[in-house]
Amino acid sequence: MAELSDVYFVDGMRTPFGRAGEKGMYWNTRADDLAVKATIGLMARNTAVPAARVDDVAIAATSQTGEQGLTLGRSVAILAGLPQTVPGFAIDRMCAGAMTSVAMMGASISAGMYDVALAGGVEHMGHYPIGGNADPNPRFVAEKMVDPGALNMGVTAERIFDRFPQLTKERSDRFGMLSQHKAQAAYEAGKFQPDLVPVAVKDAEGSWGLATEDEGRRPQTTMEDLAALKTPFRPHGRVTAGTSSPLTDGATMSLLAGGGAVKELGLTPKMRMVSFAFAGVQPEIMGIGPIPSTEKALKKAGLTIDDIGLFELNEAFAVQVLSLLDHFGIADDDPRVNQWGGAIALGHPLAASGVRLMIQLAAQFAERPDVRYGLTAMCVGLGQGGSVIWENPHYNGRKR
């Protein structure tokens, strides 16, 4: 009989994130090949795990068509050279796709059904714009189930400003600026580079190069720059390109294992999964979704927000993160929050981003033995939120 098991995040890697569109570095690169590169890089770094021991591969994509169709988990596993005995499947929970991949594989490991699994996500927003091939049921609007604006993420972000007057444009601009500055400082300190898989890319002239860094960073951003930007989602609005995550291409992959496999294979995990939760909110104001999902995850873990020593919150929009910080009484510039910047600077390839949060949290855990628990959380289109709480295996019991 299968026994319940602890779940460990053994390792994670990702491609550099590129700007979506014809001028982006991945315009001539297939989406599934990005996921393949992340998978190959991860397995090459974890040679103690025989590929045949992988019980399943879960890969998320929001637009599951074209290169992102054909059951990504299975097709990418084959293309990455895993044995054909290794199965795989695809997941869609929009922005929380990779986070859901990790949660579902983690739950399977916890129940004793799997020992080792791969979980990640990919999004090529240049080839497959968000909602590009979607055909929303007309009942959503006709029967007033969902306001038409709920399908435009920028409009939902403007509505957070409407609901919470204390969330000013200035606060949002400052948060966006600091994301850029923190990300650049982290790059200069070499924080990201160890977990990036270089990708060969071909430009419009047919010349080959190597993608080694996230492409969309704007480290020189100032408050004056942000104040001058247009508000595309509403006249005289408060959401701008400088306080939103850019359209992005990229892939992420993580290696998860149960306690028995960790011991048997001599692995050194980077994090232990404590709890996870997903929650639904009104689609019209989807950005507040991580608030109830975090409350659920904390309750399941028997923890409070004060127990969380590091936060990796997806910056779909600055105002979305600020709404969560205000709810839990956390300052905008709290050093526990996104200390290496976030999606505003690094990019947000939708279904891939959840594992990017985990990779960064794991790297920070290694530097912070005084921190026991960390949170990865994100908002999700159509009114959802996702949260995963992790424990630091390096924790030494001495808080700073």
> What number is the average pLDDT over the span 152-180?
96
Q: How far is CA 259 from CA 103, 348, 393, 395, in A?
A: 16, 32, 13, 18
What is Dmax (Cα atoms) for the chain? 63
> What number is the average pLDDT over the span 365-375?
98
- pLDDT, position 144: 86
The rounded percent of the chain whose pLDDT value lies above 70 is: 99
> CA-to-CA distance for 287 and 233, rounded, in angstroms?
15
Q: How far is CA 75 from CA 64, 184, 355, in A?
A: 13, 35, 20
Identify the residue with better confidence: 203 or 57: 57
> CA-to-CA distance for 375 and 133, rounded, in angstroms?
33
> CA-to-CA distance for 319 and 244, rounded, in angstroms?
9
- pLDDT, position 243: 98
- pLDDT, position 265: 98
Asked whether residue 11 carries a pLDDT value surpassing 90, the answer given is yes
How do residues 110-161 score in pLDDT, each as one tens digit? 999 999 999 999 999 999 998 777 888 999 888 988 888 888 899 999 999 9
> What number is the average pLDDT over the span 364-376?
98
How do residues 259-278 score in pLDDT, each as one tens digit? 999 999 999 999 999 999 99
Q: Which DSSP string corresponds to 345-381?
A: HH---GGGHHHHHHHHHHHHHHH-TT--EEEEEEEET
> CA-to-CA distance for 358 and 11, rounded, in angstroms?
9
How much is the mean pLDDT over the chain? Answer: 96
| Residue 201 pLDDT level (bands cut at 50, 70, 90) | very high
- pLDDT, position 337: 98
Q: By the 8 A CB rule, do 90 and 120 touch? A: no
The rounded percent of the chain whose pLDDT value lies above 90 is: 92
For the full predicted model, state whether its pTM sits above 0.95.
yes
Q: Are strands 308-313 and 373-380 parallel, antiparallel or unpaired?
A: parallel
Report DSSP state, residue 47. T
What are the φ and ψ backbone dihedral angles of 173, each rounded to 5 degrees?
Answer: -60, -45
The set of catalytic residues is 95, 348, 379
| Residue 399 pLDDT level (bands cut at 50, 70, 90) | low
- pLDDT, position 140: 87
Assign 199 to helix, strand or coil: strand
What are the φ and ψ backbone dihedral angles of 103, each rounded to 5 degrees?
Answer: -60, -45
> CA-to-CA distance for 272 and 8, rounded, in angstroms?
4
Report the candidate in 155, 139, 48, 62 with the shortest Cα–Cα distance to residue 349: 62
> What number is the average pLDDT over the span 59-86?
97
> What number is the average pLDDT over the span 202-216?
93
Asked whether residue 400 carries a pLDDT value surpassing 80, the answer given is no
- pLDDT, position 272: 98
Q: Which DSSP string corresponds to 87-140?
A: -EEEE--GGGHHHHHHHHHHHHHHTTS-SEEEEEEEEETTTS-TTTT----THH
> Looking at domain 5-128+244-388, does it have CATH number 3.30.360.10?
no
Between helices 318-327 and 153-163, what is the axis angle to 10°? 40
